[in-house]
Structure 1
Amino acid sequence: MDIKTASALHRLRLISVPEALSFPALLIFGSVLSRISDIDYLMMPLGILHGILFVIYAVFLLDVWNKAKWPVKKVALFFLLAVLPFGGLYGDKLLKREEADSVMAARARREAANAA
């Protein structure tokens, strides 16, 4: 993998944790809060925030799919992990390993090219 692919993986990792926590932390918290109090105006902004994070995650996932040439099954797995509450945390763990591997491969190629 090249450095652009590693960069795309890093961007996906950066958004995966906030997206993973936005559903349980924001929406469930806001839903409980609106039911036990008269704060109904909080749900719409929290829902919009969660939606924006999910759309950014989906766009970054498509970017990684394009650059890393992942198979459809792998992309579907990461999409499913984004839909499941706290699934993105496991996805982040997988992405961290993938990102480290791609950075090491890029460095090895660069060193081999410099040595030749």
Structure 2
Amino acid sequence: MDIKTASALHRLRLISVPEALSFPALILFGSILSRVSDIDFLMMPLGVLHGALFVIYAVFLLDVWVKAKWPLKRVALFFVLSILPFGGLYGDKLIKRYESDGVIAGRARREGVVA
């Protein structure tokens, strides 16, 4: 695996957990807080933060799609995981596995091992 692909996977992995936790932590917390108190001003910034994390995740996913040459089914799976609450946590595990598989395959290619 080349350095650009590895760094694209790493960036996607870094944003997947905050994006996965932003919906339940920020949006649900803000909704509950606005219903039980008079604090309504928090919903807008929390929604913007959640949306920004989602957009960054989508951009990083497109970057991985181009650099790692993932099939469309895999990209669609990661997009669906980003929509589901806590789905990004499972996506993080999958990305970690793809990273290690790519490192192993790259090392085997350099050493001349053909599988």
TM over 0.5: yes
Which shifted more, 96-105 or 13-22? 96-105
Q: TM-score, normalised by structure 1?
A: 0.91
Unaligned 5+ residue runs, structure 1? none
Q: What letter is aligned with 2:105?
A: A
Q: Distance in 2 between matches of 1:56 and 1:69?
A: 19
Give the drift of 1:106.
2.8
Aligned counterpart, 2:58: 58
1:73 aligns with 2:69: no
1:21 aligns with 2:21: yes
Unaligned 5+ residue runs, structure 2? none
Give the drift of 1:101.
1.4
- C-alpha contact (below 8 Å) 1:33/1:39 kept by paired residues: yes
Aligned residues: 112
Q: Secondary structure, in 3 states, of the residue corresponding to 2:95? A: helix
Q: Distance in 1 between matches of 2:96 and 2:80?
A: 18
- C-alpha contact (below 8 Å) 1:27/1:43 kept by paired residues: yes
Structure 1 stretches of 4+ with a deviation exceeding 4 A read: none
Report Cα offsets for 1:21-54 as digits up to 9, x if no partner: 0000000000000000000000000000000100
Aligned counterpart, 1:5: 5
Q: Distance in 2 between matches of 1:71 and 1:57?
A: 18
Q: What percent of counterpart residues are identical?
A: 81
Aligned counterpart, 1:35: 35
Give the drift of 1:3.
2.0
Q: What letter is aligned with 1:62?
A: L
